[in-house]
Chain A
C-alpha cells in the first residue's frame, strides 16, 4: 500500500539554524500539506500546496517558513531561522481528493 514517507525521523538543530524537512507524498496525489504537533498539543495545519504553489496557509506559517516541490517526488518544508518554540513533530500529508494521508512525522528539536 502506498504511503507518505518523511526524512529524517528526528532532527536536532541549534537555534537560528536553517532546517529542511523532507517528504515523499503518495505518487498520484495532487495536494500536499504540512502540519505540526507541539508535544502534548493538537495537530495544527501549517500550509497546503497544489499545482506548484501555496494554496492555503495558517497564521503559524510566517515568513520563516517556506515550502517547495523541487522535483516530481519530494515536498520540503524549510524553516529559515529556527526558534526554541519550533520544536515539534512535523507531519507531511498528501491527498488525491478528500482524504489526507499522513506520514510518520519528523521530530524537530531546537536547542
Chain B
C-alpha cells in the first residue's frame, strides 16, 4: 500500500530564511507526487507536481521540489519565506492520476517568525 511520511509536524522559520519541508513516500511503481498548501479555514491549493522528466520541479509562489527516487523523497523548498507562507503543507502521492485517489501525509505546520 502506498504511504506518505512527513516527519516534521511543526517547523518554525524566520521571515526571509530558506525552507525545506521533508516528504518520503512508499509506492511500488512510478509515483505521481504533489504538494498542497492549506491556509487556515481554506481548501487545498496545488503548489506543484511531479509526474516524470526533470526531477526538480517549479511551482507557484516561488516553491520548488526535488524528486529523489533513491531516497524515496520529494522535499519542498523555498529560498526565502514570506509571512504569508504560514500554512499547513501536505505532500501526496497518487498511483496513476485519473480515477485514483491521492494518499496524503499528515502535514507540516509552517510557522513564520518575524
Interface residues on B, range: 20 to 34
A30 (CB) vs chain B CBs: closest residue: B98
B63 to chain A, nearest CB (A): 15
- Bound-state Cα–Cα, A35 to B100, Å: 12
Asked if A104 meets B99 with Cβ closer than 8 Å, knowing A42-B104, A42-B107, the reply is: no
- Bound-state Cα–Cα, A102 to B98, Å: 14
Contact: A35 with B101, CB < 8 Å? yes
Interface residues on A, range: 20 to 34
Contact: A31 with B104, CB < 8 Å? no
B72-114 vs A, Cβ < 8 Å mask (1 yes, 0 no): 0000000000000000001010100111111111110000000
A58 to chain B, nearest CB (A): 7
- Bound-state Cα–Cα, A47 to B105, Å: 18
Contact: B99 with A101, CB < 8 Å? no
A40-54 vs B, Cβ < 8 Å mask (1 yes, 0 no): 011111111010000
- Bound-state Cα–Cα, A91 to B42, Å: 10
Contact: B49 with A50, CB < 8 Å? no
Query: Which of A11-19, A65-73, A92-100 has 4 or more CB atoms under 8 Å from chain B?
Result: A92-100
Q: Can you give 18 contacting A-B residue pairs, CB < 8 Å?
A: A4-B43, A31-B98, A35-B101, A42-B105, A43-B90, A43-B92, A46-B101, A47-B101, A48-B99, A91-B44, A93-B44, A95-B97, A95-B98, A98-B94, A99-B34, A99-B97, A100-B94, A102-B44
